[in-house]
Amino acid sequence: MSRKPFIAGNWKMNMTAESGAKLINELKPLVKDADCDVALCVPAILIPAMVKAAEDSNIKIGAENVHWAASGAFTGEISADMLKEYGVEYVIIGHSERRQYFGETDETVNKRLHTALNSGLKPIVCVGETLAEREAGETEKVLTRQLSEGLKGVEDIKKVVIAYEPVWAIGTGKTATNEQAQETIAFIRKKIGELFCPKCAEKVIIQYGGSMNAANCKGLMAQPDIDGGLIGGASLKLDFATIVNFDK
């Protein structure tokens, strides 16, 4: 089954309107012939300026979070309608930093996911284990729980992108080996097949999200079950273009 690769950047709490637009304008000619889908998920306050900067290019702009309510007394949150108004296409849900620092749970991931799907946004749902969980041999147990609870009630799993991000490899410079990443992502695809259907699982895009960079992207992307990357630090510089063009 052929799946179109998808490389997405996650700027986290970085960049300004000026520096972000400069980077996008420098990236546009470098990624225009990419054979994969390309997105940059940016801080909410930067979305209007980044959408404008990415005009007439193949770079789509995404958000880093979305609330499950349409509106209400949720200070600091942002709704799906607010994102859609500015042309946002993708949204990251359940990133490990949201889980670690801001109390995100499998239940709230699921609520945000359904809101995104019902609003026509394309969700990137993050799953992954901590170093302690991996060393305790609990990787598959943790992923099974996150997938079972986080994806509960989804009618068309093919509309969901999964990003496997081993928490121990995010921002640390450590990366799962090609074999570790492939083995775990193959397990995720198998589990999706069990939760939904094997044919559906073969169509789901599963990204690797643990310190993929210009130096290691080719090896990771050569693995049969790895369909792309959710890129953190390397998406803040022109290295992102090298990752997008991993097959060239």
Q: Which residue numbers are catalytic? A: 95, 165
Q: Give the integer Cα–Cα distance in Å for 150 and 47.
A: 26
The amino acid sitting at 18 is E
Q: Give the integer Cα–Cα distance in Å for 145 and 164.
A: 14
What SS3 class is residue 38?
strand
Give, to the nearest 10 degrees, the angle between helix 139-150 and helix 178-195. Answer: 40
Q: Which residue has the tokens 């801001």?
A: 102
Q: Which residues neighbour 184 within 8 Å (Cβ) at sequence distance 6 or greater?
A: 139, 143, 164, 166, 176
For residue 18, the tally of other CB atoms under 10 A from its CB is 9
